[in-house]
A and B are shown apart, each in its own frame.
Chain A
Amino acid sequence: MSSTVHPSRAAGAAPARGTAATPGRGASSINAQERRAAYLFLAPAVVLLTVFLIVPVIMSFALGFTNARLGADFAPEFVGLAQFVRALTADPTFWAGLRNIAVFVLVVVPVQGGLGLALALLVNQKLRGITAFRVMFFMPVVTSMVVVAMLWRFMYQQDGLINAIFGFNVDWLNDPTTALPAVIVMSIWQGVGFHMILWLSGLQTINHDLYEAASLDGASRWQQFWNVTIPGLRPTFVFIFITITIAAFSLFTQIDVMTSGGPANATTTLVYHIIQMGSGRGDVGYGSALSLIFFIIVLAVTLLQRALTKED
């Protein structure tokens, strides 16, 4: 769109650039004016991001070493590493949350990523009505997690839809062995359409000539998939792998709506525990220490993934 406007305007602009640049003083005052304009344009966003992102992140570093409480009438005092020691040595819920989130990430990342790719391959075909299928697969993504979690809580009831259809008699969310798998299935159902779209856009960036060249060389469809599609999806893969992992680590809403971390901590997560401690009990110091541990884990995993997927 812009390219159609561009040539004529550009022609008009060319001599202007010459005149503006000739007198030294004029040019520098124009630069100063441009700089001033830039700072004014940036000011609202920079101030807001500083106050509501940078400052809270720094605060989580600082508050984790204090005994700060919500609504307390005393100023926070420095307590050294006490909050971290408490998490690591005296808080079984922390360890349960860590274990559960590890299971969740290890299952959800490959399964949701892989299913997303399978769906993308299915809907990347020239078939009548394919857009309607994409829209249907995407429907759970636009539905809020609160709604989806509540709906599945209903379906997981012992006298609910899932037992009725499949002939089970399991109390999915109240049995410690099935609660976390039930949350995992529901989470994949909700999120897979999102990754389908990301994979699909990755598939469509692959140059079509590569497929034609491969098929002229006698490559089978399977060989084309391994030698053209998979390498072509590499940037999409790295991107999906990292974002899906960060999102999975942050598991909270499903737990809050479906299980409250139960039964017997079988579904509690790191973030759920952070919120329980920091907000529910008003223990900001401990919640911040846990947040910091969470932050370090996410950062470490992200950097590790990046190192592993780095191109040679």
Chain B
Amino acid sequence: MSSNAPTPATTAAAAAKPPTRPLRSSGTDKGNPWTYIPLVLLAVTFVLPLLFMISSSFKPRDQILADLTSWRAFLPVGDLSLDNYAGVFDRVPVGQFFWVSTVVTVSIVVLGLIVNSMAGFALARLNFRGRGVLLGIIIATLIVPFETFAIPMVYLVSNLPRVVLHSDGFALRMGWANSYEVLIIPFIANAFSIFLFTQYYRSIPKELDEAARVDGAGWFRIYRSVISPLAGPAFATSAILTFLPQWNSYLWPLLVIQQENMRPVQVGMRYFFASATAEGTPWGQIMAYTSLITIPVILVFLMFQRAFISSIASSGVKG
């Protein structure tokens, strides 16, 4: 842990657990069977709204309203169809929204793993002047909410030059709005990921580097072939903690995307809602849209729930 920078974030650093320790699946307190009563009530509170959303997405308007007063509201029963989903696809190019979100999320996760792990490697294992100060600054940036500099950032990217490729060469344009660049590049480097990698790389014995140096390996090969293969859990944690907030990202694309074909799914939701309400809100279709963009994430979460939960446990920085 760095000794400098007595920022609030160092408290965060102190509280962050080593990134790998998974939560015990059975707890530490002796179980009391009466606990099942509050547990079940709470489970109902957390899960029923989501079941309501998915069930409603298959029902026509009249049936959604008729079912509200009974348990049928939460169950896919009655006059079910995919009409709402068809309605969504008729109204907006959801496929395109998915494509944009997927390209952006995958790019940020992959490029982020490379850039942030390299930075973490240098901070943890290489000697250079200013190392402690640099790590201190990176940790200090963790307490700055994105919302405090979103507006200057819009102004900045609207005044940055951008290279546009044509079939016969390239041209410089002003402004990054409505591009993949503007959605991806600002979010590749991530102070928390760098911190996470630094912590993890530090826990790997230094002698491995020295042995590899003797064998004539350069630093890049040591990073790529000797040390990083031992840091799998740090890569998994960083990937998960990047994936969720990026797929769910809303404020930034709202500010910099005006073209329909560049909208990620969350922002597409807002425009879908605006276009749909003109003729009385079609809640069935809206629930179809929200189910469509949520079910993939829930499935990924259920498949990797152990990794998700232990990543969150080791973090504490919300996206």
Interface size class of A (residues with CB under 8 A): 35 or more
CA distance A57 to B127 in the complex (A): 29
Pair B155/A63 contact, Cβ less than 8 Å: yes
Pair B39/A122 contact, Cβ less than 8 Å: yes
Q: Could you mark each residue 11-39 of chain A with 1 if its beta carbon is under 8 Å from any beta carbon of chain B, else 0?
A: 01110110010000000000101110111
Q: Could you mark each residue 290-319 of chain B with 1 if its beta carbon is under 8 Å from any beta carbon of chain A, else 0?
A: 100110011001100100110011101110
Pair A278/B154 contact, Cβ less than 8 Å: yes
Chain B, residue nearest A31 (CB): B127
Those of B212-231 within 8 Å (CB) of chain A: 213-214, 218-220, 223, 230
Those of B139-189 within 8 Å (CB) of chain A: 141, 143-156, 158, 185-189
Residue from B128, B134, B286 in contact with A154 in the complex, judged by beta carbons closer than 8 Å: B286
> With A56-B153, A144-B294, A235-B11 as given contacts, are A125 and B29 in contact (CB-CB < 8 Å)?
yes
- Interfacial chain B residues near A157, Cβ < 8 Å: 283
Residue from B14, B43, B127, B155 in contact with A35 in the complex, judged by beta carbons closer than 8 Å: B127
Pair B11/A239 contact, Cβ less than 8 Å: yes
Those of B185-214 within 8 Å (CB) of chain A: 185-189, 191, 194, 203-205, 207-208, 210-211, 213-214
Stretch at the interface among A83-91, A173-181, A241-249: A241-249
Interface size class of B (residues with CB under 8 A): 35 or more
Pair A140/B46 contact, Cβ less than 8 Å: yes
Residue from B32, B65, B208 in contact with A5 in the complex, judged by beta carbons closer than 8 Å: B208
Pair B151/A274 contact, Cβ less than 8 Å: yes
Pair B46/A146 contact, Cβ less than 8 Å: no
Pair A13/B214 contact, Cβ less than 8 Å: yes
Chain B, residue nearest A206 (CB): B28
Q: Could you mark each residue 154-179 of chain A with 1 if its beta carbon is under 8 Å from any beta carbon of chain B, else 0?
A: 11010111001100000000000000
Residue from A41, A55, A155 in contact with B223 in the complex, judged by beta carbons closer than 8 Å: A41
Nearest-neighbour CB distance to chain B for A151, whole angstroms, equals 5
CA distance A228 to B191 in the complex (A): 34
Chain B, residue nearest A11 (CB): B207
CA distance A292 to B127 in the complex (A): 37
A-B contact count (CB 8 A): 366
Residue from B26, B68, B119, B214 in contact with A42 in the complex, judged by beta carbons closer than 8 Å: B119
- Interfacial chain A residues near B273, Cβ < 8 Å: 150
Pair A142/B143 contact, Cβ less than 8 Å: no
- Interfacial chain A residues near B65, Cβ < 8 Å: 159
A287 within 8 A of B: yes
CA distance A194 to B210 in the complex (A): 41
Residue from B47, B138, B205, B247 in contact with A10 in the complex, judged by beta carbons closer than 8 Å: B205
CA distance A63 to B158 in the complex (A): 14
Pair B154/A70 contact, Cβ less than 8 Å: yes
Nearest-neighbour CB distance to chain B for A285, whole angstroms, equals 9
Pair A137/B42 contact, Cβ less than 8 Å: yes
Nearest-neighbour CB distance to chain B for A119, whole angstroms, equals 7
CA distance A124 to B119 in the complex (A): 36
CA distance A39 to B39 in the complex (A): 52
Pair A253/B250 contact, Cβ less than 8 Å: yes
Residue from A49, A68, A142, A202 in contact with B298 in the complex, judged by beta carbons closer than 8 Å: A142
> With A41-B122, A279-B255 as given contacts, are A56 and B149 in contact (CB-CB < 8 Å)?
yes
A240 within 8 A of B: yes
Pair B127/A133 contact, Cβ less than 8 Å: no
> With A45-B119, A140-B50 as given contacts, are A243 and B213 in contact (CB-CB < 8 Å)?
no
A216 within 8 A of B: no
Pair A246/B314 contact, Cβ less than 8 Å: no
Pair A201/B23 contact, Cβ less than 8 Å: yes
- Interfacial chain A residues near B270, Cβ < 8 Å: 146, 256-257
A103 within 8 A of B: no
Pair A305/B154 contact, Cβ less than 8 Å: no
Pair A127/B149 contact, Cβ less than 8 Å: no
Those of A192-220 within 8 Å (CB) of chain B: 193-194, 197-198, 200-206, 208
Residue from A38, A145, A242, A246 in contact with B126 in the complex, judged by beta carbons closer than 8 Å: A38
A302 within 8 A of B: yes
A236 within 8 A of B: yes
Residue from A126, A152, A159, A284 in contact with B49 in the complex, judged by beta carbons closer than 8 Å: A152
Pair B119/A46 contact, Cβ less than 8 Å: yes
- Interfacial chain B residues near A46, Cβ < 8 Å: 119, 134, 189
> With A2-B203, A194-B312 as given contacts, are A60 and B38 in contact (CB-CB < 8 Å)?
no
Nearest-neighbour CB distance to chain B for A269, whole angstroms, equals 10
Chain A, residue nearest B65 (CB): A159
Residue from B31, B149, B244, B286 in contact with A59 in the complex, judged by beta carbons closer than 8 Å: B149
Hey, which bits of chain A sit against chain B, CB under 8 A? 1-3, 5-6, 9-10, 12-14, 16-17, 20, 31, 33-35, 37-39, 41-42, 44-46, 48-49, 51-57, 59-60, 63, 68, 70-71, 119, 121-127, 130-131, 133-147, 150-152, 154-155, 157, 159-161, 164-165, 189, 193-194, 197-198, 200-206, 208, 235-236, 238-240, 242-243, 246-247, 249-250, 252-253, 256-257, 271, 274-275, 278-279, 284, 287-288, 291-292, 294-295, 298-299, 302-303, 305-306
